[in-house]
């Protein structure tokens, strides 16, 4: 889930609003997880007037990230008009659009802060989910510190204990990825141990980097298949 907040400062006046991700951004997130494509850096913030005309903008942006990604920019206005929307772009792709209502005049500076938070809810019953690199990689793509390929899911790793020897193994499996819709995909992976086993966790990785991990437990006998299925939905 993508959550975002917009803060605007015009002189002494502050404006705060919920910042809505577009379907383009939600699609690009799944594109990145599915095939490592399309998701790209934020490049521009634009003011839109009450006639839905894009007016002044800035491409001079600063980024900071930890548990959230913060994008800041200052726009110097060249005319007097009423601002009814603020748009955040990645190239020509609109990623966020927020409805606002404030007036500007020639020479006024508008300070804009966009705060973006990526949250992830797993779909494995009774399994706690831990974000490993997913959030960091996502923010790095949006801040032009990485390519979308860093998010491309390439393996599912089963952490399994051999109940006969108590040795623990990490078993990487190439998952079957299915694109359900523009904003949803499924993952399926399975492995059949030749010993009595217990499953400790399931990790989802892009290359050698773990994106997220489910801590769960299941067990089975020799020749019993362990299967992981998951549905990933991009939503705002």
Is residue 235 within 8 A of residue 2, CB to CB? The reply is yes
Is residue 187 within 8 A of residue 153, CB to CB? The reply is yes
Q: What is the pTM of this model?
A: 0.94
Which distant-in-sequence residues (6+ apart) come within 8 Å of 107 by Cβ? Answer: 76, 77
For 220, half-sphere exposure in the C-beta direction (CA atoms, 13 angstrom radius) is 14
The count of structural domains within the chain is 2
* 101/156 same-domain check: no
Of the three residues 54, 83, 118, the one that is the final residue of a domain is 118
For residue 111, the cross-strand partners are 9, 74
CA dihedral 74, 75, 77, 78 (to 10 degrees): 130
Closest CA to 199 of 177, 170, 172: 170
* 96/145 same-domain check: no
* 175/101 same-domain check: no
Calpha distance 149→154 (Å, rounded): 10
Q: Mean pLDDT per segment of 10 residues, for the chain of length 236 residues? A: 92 83 96 98 98 98 96 97 97 96 95 93 70 94 96 97 95 97 96 94 95 89 92 90
């Amino acid at each position: 889930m993508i959550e975002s907040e917009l803060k605007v400062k015009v002189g002494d006046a502050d404006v705060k609003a919920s910042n809505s991700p577009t379907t383009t951004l939600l699609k690009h997130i799944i594109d990145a997880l599915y095939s490592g494509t399309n998701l790209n850096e934020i490049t521009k913030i634009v003011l839109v007037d009450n006639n839905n005309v894009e007016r002044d903008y800035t491409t001079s942006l600063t980024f900071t990230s930890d548990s959230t990604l913060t994008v800041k920019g200052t726009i110097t206005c060249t005319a007097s008009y009423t601002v009814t929307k603020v748009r955040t772009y990645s190239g020509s792709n609109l990623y966020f659009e927020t409805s606002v209502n404030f007036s500007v005049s020639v020479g006024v500076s508008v300070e804009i802060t966009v705060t973006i938070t990526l949250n992830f809810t797993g779909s494995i019953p009774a399994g706690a989910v831990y974000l490993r690199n997913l959030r960091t990689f996502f923010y790095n793509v949006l801040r032009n510190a990485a390519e979308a390929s860093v998010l491309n899911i390439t393996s599912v790793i089963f952490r399994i204990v051999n109940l006969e020897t108590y040795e623990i193994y990490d078993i990487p499996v190439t998952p079957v990825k299915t694109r359900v819709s523009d904003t949803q995909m499924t993952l399926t992976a399975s492995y059949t141990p030749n010993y009595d086993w217990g499953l400790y966790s399931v990790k989802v990785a892009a290359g050698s980097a773990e994106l997220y991990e489910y801590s769960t437990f299941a067990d089975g006998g020799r020749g019993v298949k362990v299967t992981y299925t998951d549905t990933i939905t991009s939503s705002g």
